[in-house]
Structure 1
């Protein structure tokens, strides 16, 4: 079964500042809860993502079990959007669209994730019991971190 998750957040800032922050792959560590033990393994990351860029991480999404997560940037529209997909990791499929829209007094940032778990019916059960809640918690944490960061700008 394919699942979707959407998160929208208003950021009181200008488009260039918001884009420069989110398109810098070095900032993802600060946006991930500490209990996930997230660590970027790819060295010498540029300060801006680009199409076909591959980034590898260590992450412990469930039960403190570490695993490699490899993502690829498949699309970048400067100051508008980018898409990352999972090449290797805990999901059968992971497609994450990030969009940035200038609105009155700031930016509306939207994350739209389409994902699928492995193991068929068992994966769907684990989604209902655990994974859905973990994704929601991740974005609650991320929302707070983003709010703090841009309040201090």
Structure 2
């Protein structure tokens, strides 16, 4: 069983409160997701984030194939971190930790995603040619979009 990890860190010239208010609102996911993914929230984004929250989406990650994705916010500490885990969707495992910490002149955001692909060995074959590049592309888009929204960190 192969588990992969994607680790991204980014700094912004805003307060932890501003970052938390944006990042912990599920409705803002659409803003930081590439348009071609057809991201659409079906339910669960009508309340402030809390542990136990279930959010249902439709996404089109590859080849125009629409996929239902259901995540649960399993942990949430106000203005510090939250964790979303896939309950149903394209991965055999998806565990995404979001951390915020104050730094001089802003905030540091850290994403750690542990994931496992379905289909065993066949899934592993697709990791380097399809899955990993697609995840990198999505998170690079997210980083650029967040810079456009909040500015580039200068230190």
Fold shared by both chains (TM-score > 0.5):
yes
State the superposition RMSD in angstroms. Answer: 1.2
Deviation for aligned residue 1:100:
0.2
**Are 2:74 and 2:85, in contact at CA under 8 Å, matched by a contact in 1?**
yes
Q: Partner residue of 1:149?
A: 149
Deviation for aligned residue 1:44:
5.9
Alpha-carbon distance in structure 1 between the residues aligned to 2:44 and 2:25: 14
Alpha-carbon distance in structure 1 between the residues aligned to 2:119 and 2:37: 22
Q: Partner residue of 1:30?
A: 31
Deviation for aligned residue 1:57:
0.3
Give the secondary-structure state (helix, strand or coil) at the position aligned to 2:43.
Answer: coil
Alpha-carbon distance in structure 2 between the residues aligned to 1:44 and 1:19: 15
Q: Partner residue of 2:12?
A: 11
1:109 to 2:115 alignment: no
Alpha-carbon distance in structure 1 between the residues aligned to 2:83 and 2:45: 21
Alpha-carbon distance in structure 1 between the residues aligned to 2:52 and 2:12: 28
Alpha-carbon distance in structure 1 between the residues aligned to 2:36 and 2:52: 29
Give the secondary-structure state (helix, strand or coil) at the position aligned to 2:90.
Answer: coil
- Under a length normalisation based on structure 2, what TM-score does the superposition of the two structures give? 0.95
Runs ≥4 residues deviating over 3 A: none
- Under a length normalisation based on structure 1, what TM-score does the superposition of the two structures give? 0.96
Deviations 1:71-129 (A, max 9, x none): 00000011100000000000000000000010111101000000000000000011111
Q: Partner residue of 2:41?
A: 40
Task: Map 1:54-93 onto structure 2 (within 5 A).
Answer: 54-93=54-93
**Are 2:98 and 2:110, in contact at CA under 8 Å, matched by a contact in 1?**
yes
**Are 2:27 and 2:45, in contact at CA under 8 Å, matched by a contact in 1?**
no
